[in-house]
Amino acid sequence: MAITTRLFKDKLPISLLGLGTMRLPRINSEASKIDDARAKEMLDYALAHGINYIDTAYMYHEGDSERFLGEALADHDRASYYLADKMPIWMAETAEDVERIFNHQLQKLKTDYIDFYLLHSQNKANFEKCKALGVYEFLSRKREEGAIRYLGFSFHDTPDVLQEIVDTYAWDFAQIQLNYADWEIQDARRQYEILAENKIPCIVMEPVRGGALADVCPSANERFRAARPDASIASWAIRYAASMPNVMTVLSGMSNMEQLEDNLATMTDFKPLTEEELALCYSAAHDWRMKDVIPCTGCRYCMDCPAGVDIPAMFALFNDYTMNKARGRYARALTDADPATRPHNCVACGMCAEQCPQHIAIPEKMAELAKLEAKLVKA
C-alpha cells in the first residue's frame, strides 16, 4: 500500500499529505531552534513513506526551518521531492528587499529552484503591498528563469478579497485554511468554491485547526470513536480536508513521529469520507462551537447588578465569540461597550446567581470573562 497522490497540472504526482515544517521538534520548549536529529529522522521517514511535498516559510522557527531543510535534504535526490516556500511581504519595504529575501531563501535551502512559491499570508493589506512592490511580476520573471516552477499564494481574509486576488493575476495554485470547523465560521466553504470555480488547485493548511480538532470535546470524541474505534480523532479532520476533490495536498505541521505515522496511515490507500462520516464531522463542529457557550436565555432576572455589569449583554457577546471563534470581533465589541457595564466591574456579591433560572454560576463566569477582557481590551 502506498500513500495516495493527486496529479497536479495532469503531470506531477503530489502526495495527498504534505509535511509542514513550522512545528518541528525543538531543542527545548522555550527555543525555536530545531532539534536537527529528531527532525531529520521525521523528514527521512516521511520521504521514505512517499511524502513528496515539503512546505516551509522564511519565518518558520524564526528562520531555522529553511536552514534545517537546506542541510537535511542535501542527501536526497532534488528531483524526488517538491519544495514549497513563501515571500513574507511584511518583512519587505522595497523591491530590493523582495529580491534579497528570495535569494536568501535559495541560499538557505541550498537549491537553485523552488517548486511551489507562494505570496505568504495574503490579505487585503498584504496584497496591496505586493501590488505596489511588483512582487508578482518579479516572481513571474523568476518562474520564467526557472528559479520557481509554480506560483501561488496563501490566504487569510474574506471571500471578497480572495476573489479580487484570483481576478488580478493568473495563479498555479493557492493555499487556504480548511477544516470541518471553519467550513462555515471562517467562510472556508466559499473560499474553496472560489478556487474550484477558477480551476486553481487548493492546498490545505490547518486541517486540524492548530490541534483543536485532535481533541474536539467529549461528546464529539465519543461519536468519532464509536464510528471508527481504531482511528484517531485527528484523522477525521485530515480525511475531511483530503476528501475535497480540488484539494491537491493537505499540510500537517507534525511535531513527532507518532503524528507522522498516524497521518501516513490515514493517507495511505486513502478513502474519502462517506456521506454519513461527513455528517459526523459537521455534528462535531457543532458541538465544538457550543462547548463553551453560557446557557443564558437573556431573561434578565439577574438584573440589576449593583456593580453595573450588564450580565446578559456580556454573556451574549461572549457566546458570539465562542460560537464563531471571532476573537477580533469580540475585542471590538467589548471595546465599544460602556466600560461601566463590562465584566471587570463585578465584585462577586453573588446576588445575581440566586435569581438565575438557568443556575449559571454568574460570579465565577464573570471572573473568567474579566480575565479575557483584560487580555483583549487595552486600558
Catalog residues that contact ligand SF4 under the rule CB under 6 A.
296-302, 305-307, 309, 311-312, 315, 346-352, 355-356, 358, 360, 362-363, 366
* Cβ 369 to ligand SF4 shortest distance, Å: 10
Q: What residues form DSSP beta bridges with 117?
A: 85, 151
Looking at the Cβ atoms of 62 and 304, the one nearer to ligand SF4 is 304
Distance in Å, CB of 322 to ligand SF4, minimum: 15
Tally: H helices and E strands in the chain: 16, 10
151 or 362: CB nearest ligand SF4: 362
What residue spans of 198-326 are helical by DSSP H?
218-227, 233-242, 257-267, 275-290, 311-324
Q: How far is the CB of 232 from ligand SF4 (least distance, A)?
A: 38
Distance CA 285, CA 209 (A): 11
CB of 93 to ligand SF4, least distance (A): 49
CB of residue 76 vs ligand SF4: minimum separation in angstroms? 60
Tell me how far apart the alpha carbons of residues 62 and 89 are, in angstroms, rounded to a whole number. 15
DSSP letter for each residue of 141-177: HHHHHTSEEEEEEEE-S-HHHHHHHHHHS--SEEEEE
Question: Of the two residues 47 and 296, which places its CB atom closer to ligand SF4 in the complex?
Answer: 296
Please identify, using beta-carbon distances, which residue of 247 and 317 lies nearer to ligand SF4: 317
**Cβ neighbours, 10 Å, residue 177:** 19
In the bound state with ligand SF4, the residue whose beta carbon lies nearer, of 22 and 367, is 367
Spatial CA neighbour of 208 closest among 226, 235, 229? 235
Calpha distance 362→346 (Å, rounded): 10
Question: Minimum Å distance from CB 304 to ligand SF4?
Answer: 8
Beta carbon nearer to ligand SF4, 238 or 334? 334
